[in-house]
Structures are given as structure tokens and as C-alpha cells.
Amino acid sequence: MNAEDCLSLLRTRRSVRRFRAEPVSRALVERLIEHAAWAPSAGNRQDWSFVVVTNEELKRALAADVRQAWAAIIAANRDSGGIEEIERYVAYFSAFSEAPVLIAVACREPDEFQTQLLGSAAAATVGSAASACMAAQNLMLAAQALKLGSCCYTAALAARTELEARLGLRRGHRLVCLLAVGVPDEAPPPPPRKPLAEIASFIA
């Protein structure tokens, strides 16, 4: 792969939410995770972990947790402005259950010494969550290269406590995002991107 092929991969990755009813082999999922693990990580600690879910009952239970959490949020904020906008999108927050493979990406929480040393800045300074996010991006790019679709879900973290319990995360790890993976059944058009002048500043 030359430089232009690599850059094209970055530009053509799409968030896919509709998948074919085709299984994804364990060998292929393992290959995705192996490439995720080549992401940069703070201190090269590789403080990430992955839980792969293909069990349909568990995926449905996770989705139900997310729907229940958002129903409670909406009910508690019914009189707040903008809640109608959330209601238009809330069905998408649990759509991960339709994917053949669900990969939960987690990171290690700061330990007691780090928390004592850094206080509220511990999580950001230690960098475990940022590292896990980079691993998730690696995984999605690997999926794109292997003709698979993927989508990252973070709104599901409204039910983080319930999801972590069902997923049985490693001790001391927190859920960062959910990745839906499968053979795509859609080809989303490229979404608009903000111009460089709007998102970047240069200090010489």
C-alpha cells in the first residue's frame, strides 16, 4: 500500500449501521483486534481490553439496557429544550444489536497511586482512554481494509454500569465504546466535512 492508498482508506471509511446476515469468522475478528493493538498507547502500556460478543441474547440485553437508560433520561428532561431532537435519534443508540459482531473496547482506570498523585486529572493524564480510542480507530480502519463495515457507539454509555456488568470487564477496566462490525449492507455517501479553516489554527 502506497501513501495515496493509505490516505484513501482514511477518506473512504464510513460508519455502517446496516449489515448482511452473514457471520464474521473468529479468525477475522482476531485479525482486527491484532491490528487494533498496534495503535499507539500512553507509555506503551497498552491499557486496553476487548470483549467480543456474537451471542444474540446478550446483544439484545445490552440494547435493552441502553434503551431503558435513554428512556429515563428523556423522561427526566421532558420539559427541557432540545429533547425532541434526541428522541429523533435515540433508536440509533441501540442499533448495535443488529450487527453480527459487537466489540466492546475498554481501558484500564488509573490506579490508586495515579489518582492520589494527579487527582481529577488522573484519567486524562494517564492516557488509557485516549489509547483505547486510538485502538478502536485502528480496528475500524482494519475492518475497512478487509471489506467489513463498522460503527462506533458512545451514546450507549448512558447505560455504562449495566453494560460493564453484563460484559464482565476485567477488574479495573472501564467501557470506552462499542464497535458494531459485519459485512456491510449499505454504502453510505461521504458526509460533509468542516473546512480546514474552521477546525485548525496554526501558531508559528
Other beta carbons within 10 Å of 25: 9
pLDDT in tens, 60-115: 999 999 999 999 999 989 887 778 888 888 999 999 999 999 999 999 987 887 88
pLDDT in tens, 150-180: 999 999 999 999 999 999 998 899 999 999 9
Give start and end residues of each alpha helix (H) in 24-127.
Answer: 26-36, 56-76, 83-89, 112-118, 122-126
DSSP-assigned letter for residue 175:
E
* pLDDT mean over 30-47: 96
Query: Closest by alpha carbon to 13, among 137, 195, 132, 105?
Result: 137
Distance CA 192, CA 204 (A): 29
Q: Identify which has the larger pLDDT, 49 or 86.
A: 49
Domain locations in the chain? 25-76+89-182
DSSP string, 101-140: EEEEEEEEPP-HHHHHHHGGGHHHHH-HHHHHHHHHHHHH
Q: What percent of the chain has pLDDT over 90?
A: 81
Over 90: is that where the pLDDT of 125 sits? no
Residue range 25-76+89-182 forms a domain whose CATH class is alpha beta
Cα four-point dihedral sign 32, 30, 19, 99: negative
Distance CA 101, CA 181 (A): 5
Distance CA 16, CA 148 (A): 9
pLDDT in tens, 15-27: 999 999 999 999 9
Q: How far is CA 9 from CA 101, 142, 187, in A?
A: 22, 9, 15
Query: Closest by alpha carbon to 105, among 180, 31, 184, 27?
Result: 180
Over 80: is that where the pLDDT of 1 sits? no
pTM: 0.94
Other beta carbons within 10 Å of 45: 13
